[in-house]
Amino acid sequence: MSRRSPRASGGALKRILWLLLIAAIVAGAWTWQRYQGFANAPLVGIEAGDHLLVARGDSLDSVLRKLQAEGVRTGELLQWKLLARKLGAAGKLQVGEYALEPGIDPEQLLLAMRDGKVVRRKFTIVEGWNIRDLRAALAKVELLEHASRDMDDAALMRALDHADQHPEGRFLPETYAWVRGDSDLDVLRRAWQAMDKALDAAWTSRADGLPLNSKDELLTLASIIEKETGIAEERPAIAGVFERRMKVGMRLQTDPTVIYGMGSAYAGNIRRSDLTTDTPYNTYTRDGLPPTPIAMPGAAALRAATHPADGDALYFVAVGDGSGHHVFTRSLAEHQVAVRDYLQRYRAQQQAVPK
């Protein structure tokens, strides 16, 4: 009976261990190479404009199922989990909507979801809009939740925690970012806060001697200035006219307030009878400022109302040449001449329009 020597047995064991070690190194290298290729290989099946919505409670597995349902080839879950652990994204996927563009790879997508780099959309409130315009525009925004759809204006302000305020003029014309999951109330809340901040700043920096007793009066006057002109450089001059009138007790006699008071009855043309029909907003029949703003004034209109131009003009009327500019005059006689000139230009333009 033959026996192997201990030396021979030990040599065989060493060879086996070396072979196992080499196999492990080769397998590890192959796995690492495959893992690296996965992490940085573009995901197949993504088209331009695609999006991924990560909802509250979504796991990595459920996110991958969403991608697969849209025809994206995601590969193995284990690879995603290893990559997520390496990137510190495991269990930290943030809720939101993510842009998927051709060429995006698993590493880029996981980093975006880890860091919350969600799609940010924009909504712009236009200077001079009234609350009806604003609510109508918000109602048309797709993907934004319409929480205020069935609310009247009073209920809307209660939902925003400002039940004591009329909504007109309270939302600053600006561009606001929003993300999937936001509602129209979220956008309005940001716009209200922006207006509150802008109004505070304007009131704090106001010139001395203004005939304004509160920030609410400032907001109302700024809204009238906003509606009277689209020419930025004219706003301080128009503010000066109105504030001089207020100081001497003259009525403001501004058409935009009359139009606002007419509401849905306004059909695009203001008649002499409209100027004499009394409403709370008719500044031809009532003294002082109207009871609320008539539109959303921008920051420039707020600045004009708090820093009116010096001068002695008490009247203004459109030039009538289509430029939007106005003629400013000191006396009623001068104003009447300017009005006649305006009417002549207006009639000449109307006659020149082809029938």
Q: How far apart are CA 12 and CA 27, in angstroms?
A: 22
Instruction: Please give the pLDDT value at position 261.
Output: 96
* 295: pLDDT strictly greater than 70: yes
Whole-angstrom CA distances from 188 to 30, 178, 249 are 55, 11, 36
Look at residues 287, 282, 306 and name the one whose alpha carbon lies nearest to residue 218: 306
**Rounded average pLDDT over 133-149:** 97
| pLDDT single digits (tens) 148-186 | 999 999 999 999 999 999 999 999 999 999 999 999 999
DSSP assignment letter at 273 = H
Instruction: Please give the pLDDT value at position 106.
Output: 94
At a CB cut-off of 8 Å and minimum separation 6, what does 221 contact? 212, 239, 242, 243, 289, 305
102 with 42: CB under 8 angstroms? Answer: yes
**Rounded average pLDDT over 289-300:** 98
Q: How far apart are CA 167 and CA 270, in angstroms?
A: 25
At a CB cut-off of 8 Å and minimum separation 6, what does 87 contact? 107, 110, 111, 114
Look at residues 322, 317, 314 and name the one whose alpha carbon lies nearest to residue 341: 317
Look at residues 212, 175, 167, 209 and name the one whose alpha carbon lies nearest to residue 302: 212
Q: Please, which pLDDT band fits residue 34 given cuts at 50, 70 and 90? A: low
Of residues 3 and 118, more confidently modeled: 118
User: In the chain, what are the domains?
Assistant: 50-115 (3.30.1490), 121-199 (no CATH), 312-355 (3.30.160.60)
* 126: pLDDT strictly greater than 80: yes
Task: Describe the crossing of helices 215-228 and 299-306 by its angle, rounded to 10 degrees.
Answer: 110
Q: How far apart are CA 229 and CA 328, in angstroms?
A: 13
Task: Give the DSSP H/E element, type plus range, for residue 317.
Answer: strand 315-318
Instruction: Please give the pLDDT value at position 201.
Output: 97
The two beta strands, 96-100 and 121-124, are: unpaired
| pLDDT single digits (tens) 181-206 | 999 999 999 999 999 999 999 999 99
**Rounded average pLDDT over 20-35:** 58
Q: What is the DSSP string of 175-233?
A: EEEE-TT-BHHHHHHHHHHHHHHHHHHHHHTPPTT-S--SHHHHHHHHHHHHHH-S-GG
Instruction: Please give the pLDDT value at position 26.
Output: 53
* 6: pLDDT strictly greater than 90: no
Instruction: Please give the pLDDT value at position 350.
Output: 72
Q: What is the pTM of this model?
A: 0.82
Q: Please, which pLDDT band fits residue 1 given cuts at 50, 70 and 90? A: very low
* 51: pLDDT strictly greater than 60: yes
Q: How far apart are CA 220 and CA 294, in angstroms?
A: 7
Instruction: Please give the pLDDT value at position 188.
Output: 98
225 with 294: CB under 8 angstroms? Answer: no
Instruction: Please give the pLDDT value at position 19.
Output: 65
Neighbours of 244 (CB within 10 A): 17
* 137: pLDDT strictly greater than 90: yes
DSSP assignment letter at 13 = H
171 with 127: CB under 8 angstroms? Answer: no
* 334: pLDDT strictly greater than 80: yes
Instruction: Please give the pLDDT value at position 9.
Output: 59
* 16: pLDDT strictly greater than 90: no
Q: How far apart are CA 97 and CA 53, in angstroms?
A: 4
Mean pLDDT lowest among 20-29, 59-68, 76-85: 20-29
Instruction: Please give the pLDDT value at position 37.
Output: 73
Instruction: Please give the pLDDT value at position 36.
Output: 61
Block residue for tokens 């504030």: 243
Look at residues 175, 178, 115 and name the one whose alpha carbon lies nearest to residue 144: 178
